[in-house]
Structure 1
Amino acid sequence: MPVRAHKDRIDKTMLRWFETRLDPYPAAPATQPPRSLYAFCRHYTRGTEPWLALMALLTTAIAVTEVSLYAFTGSIVDRLSSHTPATFLQAEGWNFVLMALVVLVVMPALNLLSALVIHQTLLGNFPMRIRWQVHRYLLRQSMGYFQDEFAGRISTKLMQTSLAVRETVIKLLDVGNYVVVYFGGALIVAAAADWRLMLPFAVWLVGYAALLRYAIPRLNKVAQQQADARSMMTGRIVDSYTNIATVKLFSHSRREEAYAHESMDEFLGTVHRQMRLATIVNVSNDTLNMLLLFAVAATGIGLWMQDAVSVGAIAVAIAFVLRLMGMSQWIMWEMSALFENIGTVQDGINSIALPATVDDAPGAQALDAHGPVRGDIRFEHVTFHYGKQGGVIEGLDLHIRPGEKVGLVGRSGAGKSTLVNLLLRFYDREAGAIRIDGTDIATVTQDSLRASIGVVTQDTSLLHRSVRDNILYGRPDATEAELVEAARQANADGFIQELVDAKDRRGYDAQVGERGVKLSGGQRQRIAIARVLLKNAPILVLDEATSALDSEVEAVIQENLYRLMEGKTVIAIAHRLSTIAAMDRLVVMDQGRIAEQGTHEQLLARGGLYAQLWQRQSGGFLELEAEAEAEGEAEPSSTR
């Protein structure tokens, strides 16, 4: 093996060893983070402490060694004046050997180890740990959380906050530690020569601290405003891209420009405020540095003239000043960056460290822990208002027997979809209980509850992945044959075979685009139906499941849906009453209560609300009535 190749292999092995010291994907359960700044950062540094401590220790060693080298250089200047060239090496040779070891061996080794710990172990893995834990926690957030926020804004907060926590912790332990040790060492070295030589440094420190005290709170405040404005700007832009079809259909490009312009202008305002502060800080810092240089030089020369300090002490003091002049600007911007990151973390806390409004009860078990789910569903005196006064669901009682097919009927706003959302625990009922096979769903895990319920909705959203991935979402361990059979039963196999995406991926490997935008509404619906067919859950919810299909395709799929319904408990919602008229029982809802129930024939004979709705159908659809809008239940946009 060539020498160079062997060296590269050793280098990569060493780098790889440090890169694998910190697990970027911790397996510990994702829990709600605390809301205070220190506790939030502490929460996300668990597991990284040994490497952060090693980084701080190495930083201290580097600072101490560097200060020692400055002191040694000053002593060398003095010793040069007390020896001739002929006697200098004989008298100071071993000191030079020691200095050479420090400069050529110790300092490079410390810097190398510090770089490996920071760059290989921490900078990449540390924020990824935070992203992983925050993402896992947010995935388990309640539906209401995502309905109240832009998706782009949430993802931006996740990315910004993870980096900001890393920078906050590392800057405090690395930069802060280095500055304290280095400056403390400089004061000690200056005072060792003469306490008066230390005075200009002490005065400079007071002035510098005053400048930091003035600038940092203001930079912190504007950083928080900037972080929030940045995430809002990103959220608005992503919202426009996500809904680009609507933007183009209504020819609202200029409106979207104005919508984004407003948030960009707000963000730019925070940048301008930040840059004004930067100018003040820069000018003030430069002034302090020039005064320090003059004061140290004048004091040093004055003390030398009094024979109080040596030439070497003056050389060391001025070297420290020159070093501090460069460092002070760096420190100022590091401190500004630190508090900008603190502002970003505090802004992220407001979005991330929120409790889930729907959470698993302590010790919650799986719904099927005591046997297969039969699908016996009971709503017992259930009340729910979406946190508002009146309306929606009021003291509702409903029993759906195992294997029974029930259709929910009612005007828009009657509470049909709300009832389904409560069954799925997207929201928790405010009073009463919902039981499946006698078990209160509030006492079981949400994952096991939803695993037992297959849902097809009107507003079908597909993942921006392949057709295969979308269908297998129903049951990831399904075989290829089961996948294709589900697509065939959903009458989707034909058009899937003809799909080709921009990268020439075909059939089941073709990508469907964000939210399935590359497919027609009917195609998306058929893939969604195939997904639920593959899931084969004991409880089936159909919420306008075939509304996006034309009559011919709907007729084919209805036959397959009827086969899918066999042996399952079914809850079907439809405005097209003809699609659910053959259900075992129809439950008519009005203003959050059950108005009447029975078979199609029984309800028509009764001549009540259902009979009125049936008579008002035109072409299979309910007419939209102005009164229905007036008495709407004020549900979120995702419900009906």
Structure 2
Amino acid sequence: MSSSSTPRLSTPQALARLYPFVRPVLPRMVGGFVVALLAAVMTLIIPLVLQATVDGPIASGDISLIVWASAGVLVLGVLEALFVYLRRAFVLTPGTAVEYEIRQRFYRRLQRLPVAFHDRWQSGQLLSRMMQDINLIRRWLIFGLILLVVNVLTVLLGTLLLFRWHWALGVTFLVVSAPLWWFGYRFERNYGTLARQSQDQAGDLATAVEESVHGIRVLKAFGRGKHALQKFTRQVESLRATELGKAREVGVLWFWLEVVPMIAFALCLLLGIWLVSQRQITVGELFAFFAMGTALRWPLESLGFLFSFLVDARTATDRVFEVLDEENDIVDPDEPRTIPVPKGELAFRGARFRYQDAAESERDLLDGIDLVLRPGETMALVGLTGSGKTTLTTLPTRLYDVTGGSVELDGVDVRDLRLDELRRHISMAFEDATLFSASVRDNVLLGRDDLDPRSPEAQAVLDEALEIAQAHFAYELPDGVETAVGEEGLSLSGGQRQRLALARAVAAKPAVLVLDDPLSALDVDTEALVEAALRRVLATTTALIVAHRPSTVALADRVAVLEAGRITAVGTHSDLLRDSEHYRHVISSLEADDLRQREREVNL
């Protein structure tokens, strides 16, 4: 999914990108590392105490000294346990703080990225990054990173200590264990590819589940549940195969981490016995050597798991930063202009638009739009399917930016206004009404962050908006306007969702109202009531309305005809009927569709 063409970073470089998030809690993280290292040191000291015990008290039979030696080992064990506890105490809270900051920044980034980004990315991929990948990064920071560094240092320090008793023992252990580093390099290379593939497949799987849940009515209506299950099964099987591949790589690494040290210990045992027989080392020194080797076994064995954890964390970091690094070309201007009291003049001046993935040979979807809406004027936009009507409505609020020409509000290019100000002056209602898992009140007042939702003023705005949208049903819901409408408002009918979305646009009190066929899901009687109420609002508000019904056209002062990405005619309904053949064709198509809709309503 990444659009980045930058060279692939090394694992340390990739993980170093987390430093800005870790920096505020770095002292606590360093504290956790220090106490973890002290716990490892306690483990390495125990063999030295055992050597002194075997060569001293045990050899001499002094019971009192044996008791003291045993007490020393006990103290070292207790200190090791205490340091392990302190490690957790140091890093758990900072780890959750880092997770919180990454997740907050990720969500803010998702909110700020343009609609074009969300058109390209699957929601499941974004969800898996937001939840699974960021959680994995947190667990690696507080557990995997510290233990990996500490265990590697422990292995290196312990290996050096092996030379303390006899250089031949140390060299034998080191030479026999050297291939482990090559196995580790091979593991990182192979496992990294599989880890990335697995996490991407998990994102695709999340998308499939989300689509199936949201589209459950369609799947049931068309009896396609079995088909969806078969597709899902194929995806699960692909993910399972990748996970098995990861498990095989981990298994191979664990095999060598188990076998190689055992071979080293066996050879060292033979060599050690010979050295004892030659009186080059004592029995206590040989015993301490193998006690040290035993102490190094867990750090060595853990490297397989910790290396796989490292690669998973690196892949998760890459996936998170793919989103954070996405270029956002719809941003606030460096030197913004302002419109303190907007009049509501909306003008398209040579506006052109084409999607990023459009072929160069294709013409612009909007091919030089020239259209001016006077303050307080209602303009209906009509055209055949595919003419570019919906795309045109996304330009005033900068859901997309023009690729040529400009869109102006009161003579100011919308790109020169801050986004929050622009979207305060221009409000939208879409044909596909989307509601949030919140109360009716919160959904309708979504665009009024200047009001306390519980204030009398907010209640008055809410009541007026629901009245205009003919959404009286909201008061009859189980908890009235405090009723939660459920995910995407699917607990409501299409017409109810559309009326609440219209109420939301009206409640924003914008200078310009852009409506993309907002009445398509309403029955004829309700539509007539909404249109009558809308006339009061539109008397003082500039409005651009995409019309798919002749009755919607009747709301307008003027009508603009969009044909193949261009405005070919502008005028009153009667003038266009007289002068524009294409307009007559469009209206006849709308009337035919409207008649079919009315017949369906009568039959129902």
Give the unaligned 5+ runs of structure 1.
Answer: 1-31, 501-505, 625-640
Q: Which residue of 2 aligns with 1:261?
A: 233
Residues 128-187 of structure 1, C-alpha deviations (whole Å, 9 max, x = no match) = 221111111111111122222322221112222212333444456412221122112212
Q: Which residue of 1 aligns with 2:477?
A: 499
C-alpha RMSD of matched pairs (Å): 2.6
> Are the equivalent residues in 2 in contact too, given 1:293–1:321 (CA < 8 A)?
yes
Distance 1:457 1:551 in 2: 19
Q: Which residue of 2 aligns with 1:379?
A: 348
1:308-327 mapped onto 2 (5 Å cutoff):
308-327=280-299
1:147 pairs, out of 119, 127, 143, with 119
1:472-551 mapped onto 2 (5 Å cutoff):
472-476=445-449, 477=451, 478=453, 479-493=458-472, 495-500=473-478, 506-551=479-524
Distance 1:282 1:38 in 2: 24
> Are the equivalent residues in 2 in contact too, given 1:541–1:571 (CA < 8 A)?
yes
Q: Which residue of 1 aligns with 2:568?
A: 595
For 2:234, the aligned partner's letter is: E
Q: Taking structure 1 as reference, are residues 550 and 274 closer, same or farther at Cα in structure 2, changes over 3 Å only? A: same
Are 1:355 and 2:332 counterparts?
Answer: no
Q: Which residue of 1 aligns with 2:104?
A: 132
Are 1:458 and 2:436 counterparts?
Answer: no
Distance 2:63 2:218 in 1: 88
Residues 329-366 of structure 1, C-alpha deviations (whole Å, 9 max, x = no match) = 2221121222123233334444553212423333546x
Percent sequence identity is 25
Tell me, what secondary structure is at the counterpart of 1:475?
coil
How many angstroms does 1:595 deviate by?
0.4
> Are the equivalent residues in 2 in contact too, given 1:575–1:622 (CA < 8 A)?
no
1:435 pairs, out of 402, 408, 417, with 408
Q: Which residue of 2 aligns with 1:336?
A: 308
Distance 2:36 2:336 in 1: 47
Q: Taking structure 1 as reference, are residues 363 and 299 closer, same or farther at Cα in structure 2, changes over 3 Å only? A: farther
> Are the equivalent residues in 1 in contact too, given 2:36–2:146 (CA < 8 A)?
yes
1:147-296 mapped onto 2 (5 Å cutoff):
147-170=119-142, 173-296=145-268
> Are the equivalent residues in 1 in contact too, given 2:92–2:142 (CA < 8 A)?
no
For 2:212, the aligned partner's letter is: S
Are 1:416 and 2:416 counterparts?
Answer: no
Q: Taking structure 1 as reference, are residues 237 and 100 closer, same or farther at Cα in structure 2, changes over 3 Å only? A: closer
Q: Taking structure 1 as reference, are residues 395 and 486 closer, same or farther at Cα in structure 2, changes over 3 Å only? A: closer
When structure 1 is superposed on structure 2, of 378-387 and 72-81 the one drifting more is 72-81
How many angstroms does 1:582 deviate by?
4.2
> Are the equivalent residues in 1 in contact too, given 2:155–2:299 (CA < 8 A)?
no
Are 1:67 and 2:44 counterparts?
Answer: yes
Tell me, what secondary structure is at the counterpart of 2:405?
strand
Residues 93-139 of structure 1, C-alpha deviations (whole Å, 9 max, x = no match) = 6x8877665544x44442232110122332x3322221111111111
How many angstroms does 1:390 deviate by?
0.4
Distance 1:107 1:317 in 2: 20
Q: Taking structure 1 as reference, are residues 163 and 499 closer, same or farther at Cα in structure 2, changes over 3 Å only? A: same
How many angstroms does 1:207 deviate by?
2.2
Q: Taking structure 1 as reference, are residues 62 and 616 closer, same or farther at Cα in structure 2, changes over 3 Å only? A: closer
Distance 1:480 1:311 in 2: 88
1:19-98 mapped onto 2 (5 Å cutoff):
36=9, 37-38=14-15, 40-81=17-58, 83-85=60-62, 88=65
> Are the equivalent residues in 2 in contact too, given 1:471–1:530 (CA < 8 A)?
yes
2:583 pairs, out of 590, 593, 610, with 610
Distance 1:559 1:68 in 2: 87
Distance 1:575 1:126 in 2: 50
Are 1:577 and 2:577 counterparts?
Answer: no
Q: Which residue of 1 aligns with 2:85?
A: 112
Distance 2:393 2:60 in 1: 94
Tell me, what secondary structure is at the counterpart of 2:17?
helix
Distance 2:407 2:347 in 1: 6
Q: Could you tell me the TM-score, scaled by structure 1's length? A: 0.84
2:444 pairs, out of 459, 467, 471, with 471
Distance 1:86 1:507 in 2: 83
Distance 2:157 2:470 in 1: 78
How many angstroms does 1:524 deviate by?
0.8
> Are the equivalent residues in 2 in contact too, given 1:164–1:342 (CA < 8 A)?
no
Distance 2:82 2:551 in 1: 80
Distance 1:163 1:555 in 2: 52
Distance 1:432 1:457 in 2: 24
How many angstroms does 1:549 deviate by?
0.7
Tell me, what secondary structure is at the counterpart of 1:147?
helix
Tell me, what secondary structure is at the counterpart of 1:380?
strand
Q: Taking structure 1 as reference, are residues 220 and 613 closer, same or farther at Cα in structure 2, changes over 3 Å only? A: closer
Q: Taking structure 1 as reference, are residues 102 and 276 closer, same or farther at Cα in structure 2, changes over 3 Å only? A: closer
Q: Which residue of 2 aligns with 1:562?
A: 535
Q: Taking structure 1 as reference, are residues 356 and 262 closer, same or farther at Cα in structure 2, changes over 3 Å only? A: farther
Q: Taking structure 1 as reference, are residues 484 and 581 closer, same or farther at Cα in structure 2, changes over 3 Å only? A: closer
Give the unaligned 5+ runs of structure 2.
Answer: 598-604
Residues 468-501 of structure 1, C-alpha deviations (whole Å, 9 max, x = no match) = 22122132424334323422332222x223323x
Tell me, what secondary structure is at the counterpart of 2:223?
coil
Distance 1:321 1:67 in 2: 10
> Are the equivalent residues in 2 in contact too, given 1:616–1:622 (CA < 8 A)?
no
Q: Taking structure 1 as reference, are residues 582 and 223 closer, same or farther at Cα in structure 2, changes over 3 Å only? A: closer
